[in-house]
Amino acid sequence: MSTTIFLLATAGIACLIAPQAGRLSFTRLEAFVALLAVVAVAVAFAAALRPGAALVAGLLWRERRLEPPARRQALAAVVPCLLVLAVGGWARWVEPQRLLVERVEVRSPKVVAPLRLVVISDLHSDPRFELDARVAAEVNRLEPDLLIFLGDALNEASRLPQLRAALTAMRARVAKLAIRGNWDVWFWEELDLFGGTGFEELSRGWRELEVDGARLQIGAHEWIDDWGPSSVIGRPSPDGLRVLLYHGNDYAFEAMRAGIDLYLCGDTHGGQISVPLWGPLFAIGRQGRQLARGLYEVGAGRVFVTPGLGVEKSFPLRLGVRPEISVLDLRPEALPEEPTRN
């Protein structure tokens, strides 16, 4: 009965939260699940306070030791909380440093020769994790043709030397391209993030790359706060594979309707907290959880959302979403046998 009342009360509170769209996007169901998780943990810890205190007292003073039935009940209340604390410790100190390389193959009739895109985003360079140099070494091991950085470089300005050293160390056969994310525009607009690192900073518009005899149209736009699909998407050339770079998933569906072949973004951090059978508890961005991480086929085009590498300074947790370097191997639709790359 108490469980039913708890669920009904949580559902009632969730119903008072209006669904949101825009920078924060979620449905009432998503709000209910996230709220349920938070409230359940809070209730469990509150319920474990007295039994936990009784167990500690029994360890310190023999005369206050609990009888076996009472001790079992106390442990039943306390052990789940200890597990939650252990998981929280993993999410804070372990998972954010477990660098992952995720490979995805994308086939298209507009691709005439194999092309490797290595995509990184949301580094949020931070002294608590020191991922910069490790990311650079791993990127170079992957031997990218194009290296693409999708924004959100720093958590604090003092990390600029480490960021620039890592970006400079990264190599790519054809080009290194970067755009600014919301943090870069909001907080670091006056900092020269990419100059002298070998990265070409793209602020807006389209450019053409000739790669192994094939035309590749690259569109990009730095972060903008106002809703502006026409500005972000622009007018791409009809020739070649059209790839649009933007920090967030906001314009993914508009880009697909405009005929973009591949939309690349980050920003969501994959939700940072992902649970089995449900996925991310919450994902930032106009498209929310429906475009939280990975490759999506949308009409005739594809959207790829990388979960990125770092965390925002005020929420230094990752659980079920490891920091990721994303590898997109673009392939022709029909391809003969070729040597395997790392």
Domain 100-331: CATH superfamily, name plus number: Metallo-dependent phosphatases (3.60.21.10)
Residues 6+ apart with CB under 8 A from 298: 252, 253, 256
The least confident of 33-37, 46-50, 179-183, 255-259 is 33-37
Q: What does the pLDDT average to over 59-75?
A: 88
pLDDT at position 58, please? 86
Report the mean per-residue pLDDT for the chain: 91
d(CA 263, CA 304): 6
pLDDT at position 241, please? 95
Residue ranges of domains in the chain: 2-95, 100-331
What percent of the chain stands above pLDDT 90? 71
Q: Determine contact, residues 104/295, Cβ cutoff 8 Å.
A: yes
pLDDT at position 23, please? 72
According to DSSP, residue 259 is labeled T
This prediction has a pTM of 0.91
According to DSSP, residue 184 is labeled H
pLDDT at position 185, please? 97
pLDDT at position 337, please? 55
Q: Is the pLDDT of residue 262 over 80?
A: yes
Residues 6+ apart with CB under 8 A from 51: 73, 74, 75, 77, 78
Confidence of residue 5 (pLDDT cuts 50, 70, 90): low
pLDDT per position as a tens digit, 274-290: 998 899 988 899 999 99
pLDDT per position as a tens digit, 34-65: 888 888 899 889 988 998 898 898 888 988 88
Q: Is the pLDDT of residue 338 over 60?
A: no
b/e 118-151 (16+ beta carbons within 10 angstroms → b)? bbbbbbbbbeebebbebbbebbeebebbbbbbbb
pLDDT at position 213, please? 81
Residue that the structure tokens 């298209």 belong to: 108
CB neighbourhood size of 103 (10 A): 13
Q: Is the pLDDT of residue 69 over 60?
A: yes
d(CA 56, CA 74): 11
Q: Is the pLDDT of residue 25 over 90?
A: no
The least confident of 135-144, 163-172, 175-184, 332-341 is 332-341
> Distance of CA 280 to CAs 29, 43, 85, Å?
13, 22, 20
Q: Determine contact, residues 314/91, Cβ cutoff 8 Å.
A: no
Strand bridging mode 279-280 / 294-298: unpaired
Angle at 18 between CA 15 and CA 23, to 5 degrees: 140
pLDDT per position as a tens digit, 117-165: 999 999 999 999 999 999 999 999 999 999 999 999 999 999 999 999 9
pLDDT at position 88, please? 95
Confidence of residue 340 (pLDDT cuts 50, 70, 90): low
Q: Determine contact, residues 285/219, Cβ cutoff 8 Å.
A: no
pLDDT per position as a tens digit, 293-328: 999 999 889 999 999 999 999 999 999 999 999 999
